[in-house]
């Protein structure tokens, strides 16, 4: 039974805590409900917005369409072979809880992605990543409902056309499909990724030596790091990393490195170097800076925050000011990771 409501506040459904409203609103907890929804002729031409955990969206205005909250649950072991297990999760499953489920069961590959906010269905859309791991490395397939026909389509790895914080669902397929489930191919034998960020130092502070490594301790280390740097959305409104880490050519990186010797860089293997956006923002003096009720977090310059009462326009104003400062100083244009409505 679909319960479509009108003029619903989206404040509880976005981690920035912006009080925008949706003209129409519905919560979906079963794949069949999506098919039913798209048979309703009165909503065929209405703009649609898909919400998972609301952790990657900034509302700058009310949404004059149908907001669809995906709450499909369930985790299932689909199959396994000698090296892998294939685990399917409903699109509404909380991502961190899914990671913890896999860690508890010894399914390796997601431990570096612990404590990322949001839902499992949103993870492949954004190709989420952290600490040297991206979801595309363990992705098998997903199921999505065609909003025009109500039919279910299976997307393979190739179909998703993953890139850095990119997928086909942010481009050609944007607005055409709603992800209902995701299946990941996880490892029975773990491959540990400890070279990125402060993982090694954190493991050392935990008293963990190389011969004591496990997916559990890596997950715990990542959780410690994220909690030490990132504000809890329940306490202060934010959407995690607001900007993507830019990739620049090796020549441009070397030129900047000559002027800024401490500039960090991570070669990507395709003649480009990934530069931490947070470092660039901090060098421009924006770390901890506040304009009214919006600003840049004091511990992590990549995170924009709502101190309480900020509008989406206030947050966007800070974002644009940060972009301008970085571009003027370094000649690098930062692109938002957050979906701006």
Provide the annotated active-site residues: 165, 241, 337
Distance CA 221, CA 112 (A): 9
Enumerate the β-bridge partners of residue 49: 67
Query: What are the residues whose beta carbons fall under 8 Å from the beta carbon of 138, sequence distance 6 or more?
Result: 109, 110, 184, 185, 186, 187
3-class DSSP assignment, residue 333: coil
Type and span of the H or E element at 248? strand 247-249
CA 212 – CA 26 distance, rounded (Å)? 47
Residues making up the chain, counted from first to last: 341
Q: How far is CA 267 from CA 126, 245, 276, 282, in A?
A: 21, 12, 12, 21
* Residues 273, 220: Cα–Cα separation, whole Å: 29
Supply 180's token pair: 């209902």
Pick the closest to residue 49 from 15, 13, 95 (CA basis). 13
CA dist 56 and 338 (Å) reads 5
Half-sphere exposure of 8 (CA within 13 A, CB side): 17
């Amino acid at each position: 039974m679909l319960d479509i409501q009108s003029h619903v506040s989206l404040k509880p459904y976005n981690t920035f805590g912006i009080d925008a409203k949706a003209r129409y609103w519905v919560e979906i907890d079963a794949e069949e409900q999506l098919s039913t929804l798209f048979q309703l002729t009165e909503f065929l031409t209405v703009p649609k917005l898909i919400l998972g955990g609301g952790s990657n969206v900034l509302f700058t205005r009310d949404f004059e369409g149908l907001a669809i909250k995906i709450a499909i649950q369930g985790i299932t072991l689909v199959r396994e072979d000698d090296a892998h297990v294939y685990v399917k999760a409903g699109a509404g499953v909380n991502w961190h809880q899914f990671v913890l489920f896999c860690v508890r069961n010894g399914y390796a590959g997601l431990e570096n992605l612990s404590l990322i906010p949001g839902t499992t269905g949103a993870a492949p859309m954004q190709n989420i990543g952290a600490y040297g791991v991206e979801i595309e490395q363990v992705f098998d397939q997903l199921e999505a409902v065609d909003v025009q026909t109500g039919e279910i389509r299976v997307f393979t790895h190739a179909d998703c056309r993953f890139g850095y914080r990119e997928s086909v669902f942010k481009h050609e397929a944007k607005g055409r499909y709603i992800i209902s489930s995701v299946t990941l191919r996880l490892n029975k034998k773990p491959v540990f990724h400890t070279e990125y960020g402060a993982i090694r130092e954190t493991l050392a502070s935990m008293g963990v030596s190389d011969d004591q490594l496990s997916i559990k301790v890596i997950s715990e280390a990542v959780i410690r790091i994220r909690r030490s740097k990132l504000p809890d959305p329940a306490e202060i409104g934010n959407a995690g990393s607001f900007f993507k880490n830019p990739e620049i050519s090796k020549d441009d990186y070397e030129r900047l490195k000559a002027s800024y010797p401490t500039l960090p860089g991570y070669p990507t293997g395709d003649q480009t170097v990934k530069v931490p956006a947070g470092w660039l923002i901090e060098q421009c003096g924006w770390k901890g800076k506040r304009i009214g009720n919006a600003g840049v977090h004091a511990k992590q310059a990549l995170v924009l925050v709502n101190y309480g009462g900020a509008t989406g326009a206030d947050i966007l104003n800070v974002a644009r000011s940060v972009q301008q400062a970085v571009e003027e100083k370094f000649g690098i244009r930062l692109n938002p990771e957050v979906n701006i409505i």
